[in-house]
Structure 1
Amino acid sequence: MDVVIALDTGTTSTKAVAAGPDGRVRAHADAGYPLQVPGPGRAELDPVAIVDAVRSALADVLTKLPDGDRVVALSLSAAMHGVVPLDADGRPCGPLVTWADDRAAETVGRLHEVAAGLHRRTGTPVHPMSPLAKLAWWRENDPELLARAHRWGGVKDLQIAAVCGPGLPIDLSSAATTGLYDIMSRRWDDEALAVTGVRHDQLPEVVSTTHRLKPLPDLGVGDVPVIIGAADGPLANLGLGAVAPGVAAVSLGTSGALRVMTDRPAVDDDLRLFCYPLTDDHWVLGGAVNNAGSVLRWARDAFEASEQELIEEAAAEPVGAEGLLCLPYLLGERAPWWRAGLRGAYLGLRRDHNRGHLVRAAVEGVCQQLALVRDAVRAAGVEVREIRATGGAVASPFWVETLAAALDQPVRTAASPEGTGVGACLLAFHALGVLPDLDATADLVALNEPVGPDPAAAARYARMRPLVERATLAIADVLAELDDISDTRAPGAERTAAKE
């Protein structure tokens, strides 16, 4: 079979996924690296480790291909919102700062007068996760680094350097996730650059996501093209076949997201959503949540019990956790609030609540956040008629059943856990002309049977959801003040948060 090898670089590892034009995975490999937390609020990666992992994962997957399979292209998928300074030769001259780094929280507060306009033009919320906010923080706090950098890049630039060499263009999708790129006029945004102190010549040329590059000769793949690819979020939609209007992709891993495809860039009036491209005529509208599987890991550590044991106890408790409401913002939160420094809470706690109630309420809280994102998508005038889900958490029936009830819609899960890598492979086959119509992938990707919502549970969650919104808005300032009093931004606390 002719296969594409996708290189999917995330926060803790690079996966190499080989798949054919039918979307079925033929081989996969993984190379990890540690997330570094050298101080409060910091979350960084060693860029050299990323480059090494990309090459290592590729070399490993090549040894695992079935006999007779022929590699016809490489394709790149990169985690969003990272930023790294580069020298005159395009090589890293500092760490890559990840989306989880929140040092720019106070800087974001000072950008409130320009935030709405930037969000509408760039499709990226003005939030500590974004490269725009990080660069603005550097301008205030480390101007020497800003002056020393010859060029700025992200995870995709490191991938490209690993397989093609440094100093090459960036794809439209990755550029659009920086908060520096005007998705309406298709150019680097002048106001965003003024806010950050970055010059146009410090940013790469932007090309389409199907652009072809040449591989380095020592990769062992011959003279096949390297498809520059896209950001991992839009590619996850493609890997689920969630490309037709009204088909939403939900990711449930350590964090989560809900995204639906549209044919043009758009941002909702209330600025609750992001908008990032897959191709020139395929754009994802949606929102990411910081907390998903991470709440279960917190419970595992706090209660010194296995995740499976906690899930079983949570599933045994009634829907609604007997009046217990959780705002699951253990790692802050993004959509739909985009409020830096948001903290979590339990409301309605009584002495007869046990850890099963606490875990159920936390899982319900995560699914309610995704339902709020879905509601924002609908309010923006985009239909959501079908839900497809992927990620580590969907291996649990309890998670899937709770999600289906919170959304009050059936949920179909992906047969393969490598959704983003599969999406990158399918995009490459599209670039090669093998899959001329991306919309046809809706029927290509293998899915499990749908899990429908329990009507009684769906009705209860619908009644509870406005309380989540009201509680978040009502107590956010109180929790922020408690944060200041108790100094929860101590290095230990931040180290735990960034580790997730």
Structure 2
Amino acid sequence: MDVVIGIDTGTTATKGVAAGIDGEVRVSTSVHYPLSVPGPGRAELDASRLRDAAIEALVTVAQAVRERGDRVVAVSLSAFLHGLAPLGADGTPRGPLITWADNRASAQSRRIAETGRARVLQARTGTPVHPMAPLAKLAWWRDEDPATLRDTPRWGGVKEVVLGGLAGEGFVLDLSVASGTGMYDIHERRWDPEALDIAGVRPDQLAEVVPTTTALKLHPDVASAAGLPPGTPLIIGAADGPLANLGVGATPAGVAAVSLGTSGALRMLVDHPVADQAGRLFCYALTENRWALGGAINNAGSVVRWAGQTMAEGFDRPAAEGEDADVRDAALLVEAAQAPPGSDGLLCLPYLLGERAPWWRGGMRGAYLGLRREHGRAHLVRAAVEGVCQQLALVRDTFAAENIAMTEVRATGGAVNSGLWVGVLAAALDLPVAIADTPEGTGLGACLLGLHAIGDLPDLDEAAALIDITGHTRPDPHDAGLYRRLRPLIEKSAEAVTDVLTELDSLAPSPLPSTEKAVGAGPA
């Protein structure tokens, strides 16, 4: 079979996937790397390692494809949004890549909002003004290190970094990732002059924006290492979130996609850019006439990983030598499922990495409310899962406020392997949740977009029929009603404690530099 290889660069792993026109994932691999936390509010990746990981994943999958007797007809790319790194004139990284989880630009995003410009910028660019966005990150450089900002020949995110290693030509960026920078006018299709003025960069320091179906060519050395023919098409691809919709078949009207990986997101596809006047939803491109409307949350699988790291000591089932953290987390979730819905009155604000949608307020921190002596580890872990799913439900409520109907959710990401996660998600959203037959939703989406780009999949809506569904989880009516009653308490609590938590954070001593191990990365 002719196949496309999708390369999906995530927060803690790069995945390689091979799939053909039948939508079946035939080969997959993962290359992991640590997320560095060098100081309070910081979250960085080694940009050069991202390039190496993409090449490693491509070579591994290409070899496996050949061993199966299949033929690679193209390579297509996916990347997580909101990264930023200084680049040399030849595209070589000059420093670490600052990720979406990095909050160093909180003061800058707050100042932009205080000027009253945030809503109009979001309406034009599709990206909320928030510390995650490259707009705010560049404003941080403008304030803290203006010489570096001025003298850096190029600035780019994950896609530009990876393309610098895989492509043989050009300094280009796809429309999808550009629409997540906060600096690209999605209506006029140009870098936004006001945003660039705030960021302190010139248009020539940023990449040329091209359609997501644009075909480049693999660098000859990369093609040779992967055993692929010279001139193999390299489809520039899109951002991970919109591609996850495609990869789980969430393309028809009313069908949304939920991603539950390191972070999370809820998205629906619409046929034109939509400006949410209340400033609660983002709008990112999949193609020039398909756009993902939705909201991302900072905390999903990372919250359970934190729970495993902090609550597993003395766990009844001791960890075996060298046991994988995923196994430990799965055991915690089984234990947490024994606690009742609502966690016996325990509420978790799971904002360990701050938070994004639907409020887009920087400086948020996590908290447990309602703790009593009878609450145990199972309650604490279950409350964290409920807090994450309730945050996604707050995003879903925003769609309802905009009179956008949502009838079904298709879920992807590492967390969907847990019955607790899926059951709580269905009840919180009060919608049936379908699980795609592949955990590689984003990588498969990259493959399908690649097939579309080379003409083998003319209509992207056909992708929905290609995706096998393993089953539907319908919401428990009692649990759905309980979570509906609890949701206003989350909003009240988050509003009430934000100032206190922010002040506490300013008084806390700076943590030592550290790294976070892979958490089952997923799109945001």
TM over 0.5: yes
Q: Deviations over 1:296-319 (max 9, x none)?
A: 112112212432332222211211
Per-residue CA deviations over 1:129-174 (Å, capped at 9, x if unaligned) read 1111100000000112112211111111122122213643211001
* SS of equivalent residue, structure 1 residue 28: strand
2:460 alignment partner AA = L
Q: Which residue of 2 aligns with 1:356?
A: 378
Cα distance per residue 1:57-105 (max 9 Å; x no partner):
1111112114320111110111111111122222222221111221111
Aligned pair partner of 1:464 in 466, 472, 486 = 486
Counterpart position of 1:21: 21
How far 1:479 moved relative to its partner?
1.8
Question: Paired residue for 2:260?
Answer: 252
Q: Could you tell me whether the CA contact under 8 Å between 1:170 and 1:206 is conserved in 2?
A: yes
Q: 1:194 aligns with which of 194, 197, 202?
A: 197
Aligned residues of 2:34 and 2:515 also touching (Cα < 8 A): no
Match of 1:84 in 2: 85
> The residue matched to 2:89 in structure 1 has which SS?
coil
Alignment-derived partner of residue 9 in structure 2: 9
TM, length-normalised to structure 1:
0.96
Match of 1:221 in 2: 228
- 1:298 has 2:301 as partner: no
Tell me how far 1:498 sits from its aligned partner.
9.8
1:75 and 2:76 matched: yes
Structure 2: unaligned runs, 5 residues or longer: 316-327, 520-524
How far residue 26 of structure 1 moved from its aligned partner, in angstroms, is: 1.0
> Take 2:511 and 2:345, find their aligned partners in 1: how far apart are those partners?
34
Query: For 2:73 and 2:14, how far apart are their aligned partners in 1?
Result: 20
Out of 213, 235, 242, the position equivalent to 2:243 is 235
For 2:515 and 2:383, the matched residues in 1 are separated by 22
8 Å contact kept, 1:269–1:380: no
> Residues 248 and 388 of structure 1 are in contact (CA less than 8 Å); yes or no, is this contact kept in structure 2?
yes
Q: Is the 8 A contact 1:242 1:442 kept in 2?
A: yes
Aligned residues: 497
Counterpart residue identity of residue 379, structure 1: A
User: Are the equivalent residues in 1 in contact too, given 2:269–2:291 (CA < 8 A)?
Assistant: yes
Q: 1:173, 1:209 within 8 Å by CA — same for their partners in 2?
A: yes
Root-mean-square deviation over aligned CA pairs: 1.6
Q: Distance in 2 between matches of 1:7 and 1:60?
A: 11
Q: Does 1:124 align with 2:127?
A: yes
Q: 1:375-454 maps to which residues of 2 (within 5 A)?
A: 375-454=397-476
Provide the residue aligned with 2:45 in structure 1.
45
Q: Secondary structure at the match of 1:185?
A: coil
| Residue in 2 that maps onto 1:160 | 163
> Is the Cα contact below 8 Å between 2:169 and 2:216 reproduced in 1?
no
The answer as to whether partners of 1:157 and 1:166 remain within 8 angstroms in 2 is no
Shift of residue 478, structure 1, vs aligned partner: 2.0
State the distance in 1 between where 2:175 and 2:459 align: 19
Say whether residues 1:337 and 2:359 are aligned partners: yes
- CA pair 496-93 structure 1, distance change in 2 beyond 3 A: closer
Code of the aligned partner of 1:271: G
Residue 8 of structure 1 aligns to which amino acid in structure 2? Answer: D
Q: After superposition, give the CA deviation of every residue in 1:23-63 in whole Å (9 maximum; x if it has no partner).
A: 11111222233323333332222222111111111111112
Pairing partner for 1:182 from 185, 192, 195: 185
Which runs of at least 4 in structure 1 moved beyond 4 Å after TM superposition?
494-500
- How far did residue 378 of structure 1 move? 2.1
Q: Aligned AA for 2:101?
A: A
Unaligned runs of 5+ in 1: none
Matching of residues 92-111 of structure 1 within 5 Å: 92-111=93-112
Output the amino acid matched with 1:7.
I
Residue 238 of structure 2: SS of its match in structure 1?
A: strand
For 1:497 and 1:333, the matched residues in 2 are separated by 18
284-293 or 107-116, larger mean C-alpha shift: 107-116
| Corresponding residue for residue 31 of structure 1 | 31
Change (3 A) 1:111 1:499: farther
Q: 2:396 aligns with which of 374, 377, 397?
A: 374
Tell whether 2:269 aligns with 1:261.
yes
Is the CA contact 1:285–1:377 (under 8 Å) kept in the aligned structure 2? no
Q: Distance in 1 between matches of 2:369 and 2:40?
A: 28
Of the two structures, which has the highest relative contact order with CA contacts closer than 8 Å and spacing of 6 or more? 2
CA offset at residue 482 of structure 1? 2.3
Are residues 1:483 and 2:491 paired?
Answer: no
Encode CA deviations 1:423-453: one digit per residue, 9 max, x unaligned: 0000011111111110111121111110111
Q: After the TM superposition, which of the residue ranges 297-306 and 321-330 deviates more from structure 2?
A: 297-306
Letter in 2 for 1:90: G
SS in 2 for 1:26: strand
Amino acid at match of 1:99: W
Q: Tell which deviates more after alignment, 189-198 or 65-74.
A: 65-74
Q: Please give the secondary structure, in 2, of the residue aligned with 1:111.
A: helix
Q: Is the 8 A contact 2:245 2:445 kept in 1?
A: yes
Identity of aligned residues (%): 60
- By how many angstroms is 1:283 displaced? 0.4
The 1-side partners of 2:46 and 2:469 are apart by 36
Please tell me whether the aligned partners of residues 255 and 294 of structure 1 are also in contact (alpha carbons under 8 angstroms). Answer: yes
